[in-house]
Structures are given as C-alpha cells and as structure tokens.
A and B are shown apart, each in its own frame.
Chain A
Amino acid sequence: GENVEQHPSTLSVQEGDSAVIKCTYSDSASNYFPWYKQELGKRPQLIIDIRSNVGEKKDQRIAVTLNKTAKHFSLHITETQPEDSAVYFCAASMAYNTDKLIFGTGTRLQVFP
C-alpha cells in the first residue's frame, strides 16, 4: 500500500523567514496531494492541494511543488507569522481508490516572533 514519509518532524523559524516541509510517497498511482494544518485539539484544515498533472501551485504565502518522477512534494511557506505555528500534514490519495488519503507523520512548525 501507499506510504508517505514527511520531514522534518519539527521546524522552528523566525518570523518572516521561510519554512519548507517535504514529503515522499511510494505509489506512483497517487494523483492527489493535499496539505493540512492542524491546531491542537482541532480538525485538520486543508490549506493547499496539488494534482499530478500540475508541477506547482501557489496561494498567497503558501506554495506546493510536486516532482512526480522523484515521487516527492513540498510545502513552502514564505514570510512566516506566529499564527502559522501548528502541525502540518501532507497526504496522498490513490488514483484507483476513491478519496482514500494516507497521511504523513506531521511536522510541528513553530514561528518565533
């Protein structure tokens, strides 16, 4: 089955700096890669996603890149703010299995003022 690895597990940055979180997946059939932000005790919130027919997608300070050949995708947050502090999860969805998401292990991001 699909396996998603995520690095780093923790990331500390100064406010205004950029943060990058990387994920690799195992199954080349995966075609949908969302990123979620989860605050303590709350539901995961979709912040950006990318499909396998696109190499890069950007939404204001957040961008995601996908390298299908290498089977990895990354989340880039620029101009980080303290409110960006949370746990971020990547996920991958199998093309032939409707909507099933396999999550990465998570990255705890801390943005210091």
Chain B
Amino acid sequence: GAVVSQHPSWVICKSGTSVKIECRSLDFQATTMFWYRQFPKQSLMLMATSNEGSKATYEQGVEKDKFLINHASLTLSTLTVTSAHPEDSSFYICSASSGGANNEQFFGPGTRLTVL
C-alpha cells in the first residue's frame, strides 16, 4: 500500500515552454502533498505544501507564479513549471501524506526535467 506515482518520469523541453508534472496517490487519499526539488548531489529542498482544495503554501524563495501547484482532488496534485529555463533543470519529487499523527510521507519516483 501507500503508492505514489509521478508522470512523466523524465521530460526534455525548450527554454520558455511550460511543463506539467503529475503526482498521484494510488491507494490512499492524500490530504497533503509536497513538492521537492533536488539538484545533482544535493538534498531535497521543499518547494511547497499543497492541501486539497486550497492554495499551496510556498517556501521562502520559491516563485509561486513560476511554479504553479494545483491539488484538485485527494489523489492528484500537479506542478507546472512555467516559462522554464535551463536553471530549472532538476529532479522534482512529490510526496503525499494521509495526515494524522503518523507523519509518514510517501514519495513519488521523481521527474527529471531538462530544459534546453
């Protein structure tokens, strides 16, 4: 149980285009989803916290107009990188939590974005 999927697993796009990444909880309802970015040989940096039906909460330094997050249902959150540039190339990982006192997050397999 507790499976989280991401789509696509990798994407290559041209500079200036937008890319949408989907994160799905397959066998549980995720009240909260998180989006992380991980540059090569670095740690996971939390970008934003997304709660179903409400606006995402962005971490300091993350541009909310550039990284659009939508959590329209209890099983799906999307991250759209708008007007992508080469410096946005990174590994984007989502995680999902069903909430409650358990705190455990279940991670998706990640999406590798390369912006040319």
Q: A89 on the interface (CB 8 Å rule)? A: yes
Q: Interface 1/0s, chain A 9-37, versus B by CB < 8 A?
A: 00000000000000000000000101000
Q: Interface 1/0s, chain B 46-70, versus A by CB < 8 A?
A: 1001000000000010000000000
Indicate if the CB atoms of B110 and A106 lie closer than 8 Å. Answer: no
Q: A103 on the interface (CB 8 Å rule)? A: yes
CB-contact partner of A103 in B43, B60, B97, under 8 A: B43
Q: B93 on the interface (CB 8 Å rule)? A: yes
Q: Which residues of A contact B (CB under 8 A)?
A: 1, 32, 34, 41-46, 49, 89, 93, 98-106
Please list 8 pairs of residues, one from A and one from B, whose beta carbons are closer than 8 Å in the complex, sorted by A's number.
A34-B104, A44-B107, A89-B43, A93-B103, A100-B34, A103-B44, A104-B43, A106-B42
